[in-house]
Amino acid sequence: AQSVTQLDSQVPVFEEAPVELRCNYSSSVSVYLFWYVQYPNQGLQLLLKYLSGSTLVKGINGFEAEFNKSQTSFHLRKPSVHISDTAEYFCAVSGDTGRRALTFGSGTRLQVQP
Amino acid sequence: EAQVTQNPRYLITVTGKKLTVTCSQNMNHEYMSWYRQDPGLGLRQIYYSMNVEVTDKGDVPEGYKVSRKEKRNFPLILESPSPNQTSLYFCASRPGTGGGETQYFGPGTRLLVL
């Protein structure tokens, strides 16, 4: 079985400040890790994913995430946020087999304030 | 344009009145899936389909049915909706069955069951 914990349900931050959204996972098998973003009234869009290789993954819109196997974490970071980054962010994990697809965390709402 | 479409986008119904939410993808994807999104719970998988005529239960299948008669379509059926099925529903697809593949999400269907 696999699970995902997003430690913060809401993260308020000022525009141009750095941000980190935390994600921890548990799994008994090798995993693939994803971050998705959901803008208001829209579906989910892939930000980035980790499959293998370099533990630092760069995604769209200036986001990056670091896979840490020993701490079972996959935290998402951005050095300087914009108002347009206001959205809900979901961390997700998938196992090798792919049958059951993604297990999602409960989401983190990023609120960027001017 | 490559996309996943869902209809309707918004639906209000009453307890017990059968309804169908349609989902269609134009990317020739083998794998399709339905999720429901509830506050504080993230997205939970309802059903998935590895290919035509192959469907299986996800984490929360009770009260739902699906079918996959054609590769592009994967409708979600609520035979007798109840208020606890009030939720935001997403259809998703991905190219194959590999765990590391990106899922593409539809825009969502917001359902209210009175």
In the three-class reduction of DSSP (H, G, I as helix; E, B as strand; rest coil), residue B45 is classed as: strand
The C-alpha atoms of residue B66 and residue B44 are separated, in whole angstroms, by 16
Please give the pLDDT value at position A97.
Answer: 62
Confidence class of residue A113 from pLDDT cuts 50, 70 and 90?
Answer: very high
**Contacts B31 to A, Cβ<8 Å:** 98, 101
Task: Using pLDDT thresholds of 50, 70 and 90, give the confidence band for residue A98.
Answer: low
Which residue of B42, B99, B108 is in closest CB contact with A43?
Answer: B108
- For residues B17 and A83, give the distance between their C-alpha atoms in angstroms, rounded to a whole number: 42
B interface test, pick of A41, A104, A108, A109 with most B CB neighbours within 10 Å: A104
A9 contact residues in B (CB cutoff 8 A): 40
| DSSP code string of A26-66 | EESS-EEEEEEEE-TTS-EEEEEEE-SS-SEEE-GGG-EEE
Closest alpha carbon within chain A to B59: A100
- How high is the pLDDT of residue B25? 97
List all residues 6 or more positions away from A54 whose beta carbon is below 8 Å from its beta carbon: none
pLDDT digits (tens, 9 = 90+) for B7-30: 999 999 999 999 999 999 999 999
Chain B residues with beta carbon closer than 8 angstroms to that of A102: 43, 45, 103
Question: Homologous superfamily of A3-113 in CATH?
Answer: Immunoglobulins (2.60.40.10)
According to the model, what pLDDT value does residue A96 have?
A: 61
Q: For residue range A49-96, what is the model confidence (pLDDT) as tens digits?
A: 999 888 999 999 999 999 999 999 999 999 999 999 999 999 999 876
Alpha-carbon gap, residue A80 to A10, rounded angstroms: 18
Q: Which residues of A touch B98 (CB under 8 A)?
A: 98
Considering only alpha carbons, which residue of chain A is nearest residue B3? A43
Record: contact B100-A104, CB cut-off 8 A? no
Q: Are B32 and B23 in contact (CB under 8 A)?
A: yes
Which A residues in the span 56-85 are in contact with B, Cβ-Cβ below 8 Å? none
